[in-house]
Amino acid sequence: MGNITTFLPDHFKNLIRPYYYWLKRHVRKSFKSSIVALPSHLNMAFTMKCQAACPHCYFLQENTATFKRPELLTQKFLTNMLGSPFCKNIRTMTCGGGEALLHPDILSLVKIPYQFGITQIQIVSNGITLQDKDIVQRIIANKSFNTLQVSLDAANADDFMLKKGITKCDFNSILKNIAAITASYEKGGHFSTGLSFVINARNIRDLSQMIKLAEELNVDYCHFATQQVTRDDNSSTIGQTVEKEQPEYDNVLRQTSYQVDINIQPPLQSNFLHYFCASLAHHLSLSPEGRLAPCCHIPWDKKYGMFDSCRENPINNPAAVNLRDMFIAAKKEGNPVLLPQECKKCPRRLKGYFHFSRHRRKWQFIPY
């Protein structure tokens, strides 16, 4: 739930959730100004290393050298940054990279943000690291965060290697280890696991297999993200983005017998898109050394500024302000052509997603 509700206790959030979603659906989101309030969510890259080279990676589409730096997040930087007045409203955090689990101290570092009032911490892994028994045992012994989301992107070994841009891996051991982590905690507690899949016109036919795999591994949820292309001409190499209604989605949305919670982002077609992006509005995105990015889908760069040297709200860095100005102009004219190039086909502009609850056996459209 969004900005104001971030500060409410969980039981109260659950009580007001249906009314909140109704209200959210009827309030049209837009940028009132290119200057925004302090961030409520932190996207923290723990390392700039990544064993994968996913063709769909929006960071690599923008800069092929993104993961060629040896940066690692330090305890000193994390503590100083979270203690800064610019971070006092942050309540949720995503630990990514690169591949976050390649950071040797990640499981002790993720305990720190709770001391600064952050209540929900998600680690995102590309799955490749979960071939390592040692890290799997350490996660099982020490679940000091809330969610482990594995970006699996495929339901079999060949597709997995294709989606990750790698030539070998032990896919079965990745699956076995996800199942072992999932079996090590009680459902409904503070910890959960999920799988995510980037969907494009090539792999949409595999939706049902991916859901079946999530059910077999007994994870709590599976999330289907619509692929982003940052430049139109990237489509020929990474596959067409889903931009119109698809029978595969209809088939999945018709059924209600799944044993797993499911989130499906709709196609990038105009009725599902708006002139707003929550990441651009509320997220602070940092590289391990504190390089800023305008949002969580654009690679960090010194040219956007460094967190350490900020004298004002870092999410009002000139590049982010410029992007918001372009959103405001595009909305005023009702013309998506005026949007920044990288935002035109970005799923962060979607109004919401279809959600299936395994407990309520029901699909509903949840607004972002």
Q: What is the binding site for ligand SF4 (CB under 6 A)?
A: 50, 52-54, 57, 59-60, 97-99, 126, 277, 279-280, 295-298, 323, 340, 342-343, 346, 348-349
Q: How far is the CB of 50 from ligand SF4 (least distance, A)?
A: 4
CA distance 51 to 317: 30
Angle of CA points 212, 135, 110, to nearest 5°: 95
Q: How far is the CB of 253 from ligand SF4 (least distance, A)?
A: 25
Strand partners, 151: 196
Nearer to ligand SF4, 46 or 116 (CB): 46
In the numeric block, the tokens 């079965």 are attached to 172
Q: How far is the CB of 9 from ligand SF4 (least distance, A)?
A: 29
CA distance 319 to 329: 15
Count the alpha carbons within 13 Å of 53 in the hemisphere toward its beta carbon. Answer: 10
CA distance 9 to 166: 43
Q: How far is the CB of 190 from ligand SF4 (least distance, A)?
A: 25
**DSSP structural state of residue 130:** G
Largest Cα–Cα separation, the chain? 55
Nearer to ligand SF4, 291 or 349 (CB): 349
Nearer to ligand SF4, 60 or 82 (CB): 60
Q: How far is the CB of 102 from ligand SF4 (least distance, A)?
A: 10
Q: How far is the CB of 235 from ligand SF4 (least distance, A)?
A: 16
Nearer to ligand SF4, 54 or 252 (CB): 54
The 10 Å CB-count burial string (b at 16+, else e) for 29-66 is bebeebebebbbbbbbbbbbbbbbebbbbbbbbbeeeb
Strand partners, 306: 291
Which residues lie closer than 8 Å to 157 by C-beta, 6 or more apart?
169, 171, 172
Q: Among candidates 158, 99, 162, 159, which has minimal Cα distance to 128? A: 99
Q: How far is the CB of 230 from ligand SF4 (least distance, A)?
A: 7
47, 73 Cβ separation under 8 angstroms = yes
Nearer to ligand SF4, 242 or 252 (CB): 242
Q: How far is the CB of 294 from ligand SF4 (least distance, A)?
A: 6
* Structure token digits, residue 344: 């035109």
The string of DSSP codes covering 204-264 is GGGHHHHHHHHHHHT-SEEEEEEPP-SSGGGHHHH-----S--HHHHHHHH----SSEEEE
Nearer to ligand SF4, 154 or 252 (CB): 154
DSSP-derived pairing of the beta strands 352-357 and 261-264: antiparallel
Nearer to ligand SF4, 99 or 159 (CB): 99
Q: How far is the CB of 2 from ligand SF4 (least distance, A)?
A: 16
Nearer to ligand SF4, 252 or 280 (CB): 280
Nearer to ligand SF4, 223 or 348 (CB): 348
